[in-house]
Amino acid sequence: MYFSISLAALVTIPAVNALVYVDSTGKLPALGWNSWNAYYCDIDEGKILAAANSIVDLGLKDAGYEYVNIDDCWAVKDGRDNVTNQIIPDPLKFPTGIKGIADEIHALGLKVGIYGSAGTLTCGGYPAQLGNEALDAATFAGWGIDYLKYDNCYIPANWTDTYDACVPDAWQIYGPYDNGTCAASPRDAPPGYDWSTSNNAKRYRIMRDALLAQNRTILYSICNWGHAEVQEWGNSTGSSWRITGDITPDWARIAEILNENSFLLNYVDFWGHNDADMLHIGNGNLTLQESRSHFAFWAVTKSPLIIGTALDKLAAEKVEILKNKALLAFHQDDIYGGPAEPYKWGINPDWTFNATNPAEYWSGPSKAGTLVLALNTLSTPVWKEIIFSEVPQLSKEKSASYHVTDAWSGKDLGCVKGRIRRWVDSHDTIAFTLGKKCDW
């Protein structure tokens, strides 16, 4: 069951109806694992179950990770069942079917996710859901599915949109992006256009309604790459919505997505979250410092944290990043639903849209106190200084002292006066929780 509430009193955006489940699914951003960034189409039952067992064995389940998500390429590619029209799991990859593997994952105390697309085919060319939403939602529910990632490939002409919204992303075609705007295009929407009336929004609402008609809660993750101003209508349609094109395992792309997300954070609160895409920790050539920053900013912006690597090969130091207690506590805070936000850009003047050097100084409230972070966007180490009187949630007294805990190490630093200054490696992030004000 679900109901809707007005978020007008909670966030600084126009009133919208949020998708609210009575069992609290989707109130907080999701935590889990997905097969795509680890294996792409080369998936099978053994790899998915190995990941599920690793989530338990590595302590990730105890840290809060719960979803085991099967991405694209799980179905038979050449069609549906001739009699029932149901989508068919590939019997070579999943000999016990999706129901069989779901039962095993549930037995571990975890949940299971599946992948689909709001088009005629998935991005990998497999059968998709457009026109079969009710049937496939019922099939997913019958298999015991708990989560649907819903992509945006192979859209037929009668479902395409008249207009394109601006997504200031390197993979789009309307750059360069002058401070986050797109170049003029003949496909620009007229001023005041209501994107919730777009075909894109309609396609995603059809599947939302199909999922809500089932007898189990299925978290709905919209993956339309930021198209059709999804942040304007995503909250009434799904629990999270992708805001950009796909992530890649390199620092330039991570910085670019962080920069874009930093201008959309007023859409984030309980029951609705910008999805900055899956985590690439353990993939590509990301350094340990870049992995820390990647995780820290996905966590504090309250993006879903969906691990995307082969867990059986993940270095212990990167497992520890994924289990960081302070950042996960902020991410899963049940009192403060909003994200951390930039309060000073650092390298650039405030409110500068810059894909290479996004905002560097961030803060946000939590049950534990005020979380403050400083990112080094440069390719060389630098001194970074967090000045307490500049942090919006703190006193403007320049000599104020606070009880400080290092978010990475968990070390209690005692009462610290006025500021914190640290030498920060290239692309690394320092983070501290500032608790009660100290009385001297």
Q: Which residues are catalytic?
A: 151, 246
What is the helix (H) or strand (E) element at residue 213, kind and residue range?
Answer: none
Q: Is 233 helix (H, G, I), strand (E, B) or coil?
A: helix
Per-residue exposure over 281-296, b if at least 16 CB sit within 10 Å of its own CB, e if not: bbbbebeebbbbbbbb
Compute, in degrees rounded to 10, the torsion defined by CA atoms 118, 120, 125, 129. Answer: 50
Q: Are 258 and 276 within 8 A, CB to CB? A: yes
The total number of residues shown for the chain amounts to 440
Q: Which residues have CB under 8 Å from 234's CB, separation 6+?
A: 222, 240, 241, 267, 272
Cα–Cα distance between 358 and 341 in angstroms, integer?
12
Cα–Cα distance between 226 and 244 in angstroms, integer?
5
Q: Are 204 and 237 within 8 A, CB to CB? A: yes
Q: Is 210 helix (H, G, I), strand (E, B) or coil?
A: helix
Evaluated on CA atoms 415, 421, 425, 431, the torsion sign reads positive
The residue written with tokens 């999270």 in the block is 240
In DSSP notation, 397-410 reads -TT-EEEEEETTT-
Burial grade of 8 (CB within 10 A; 0-12, 13-18, 19 or more):
exposed
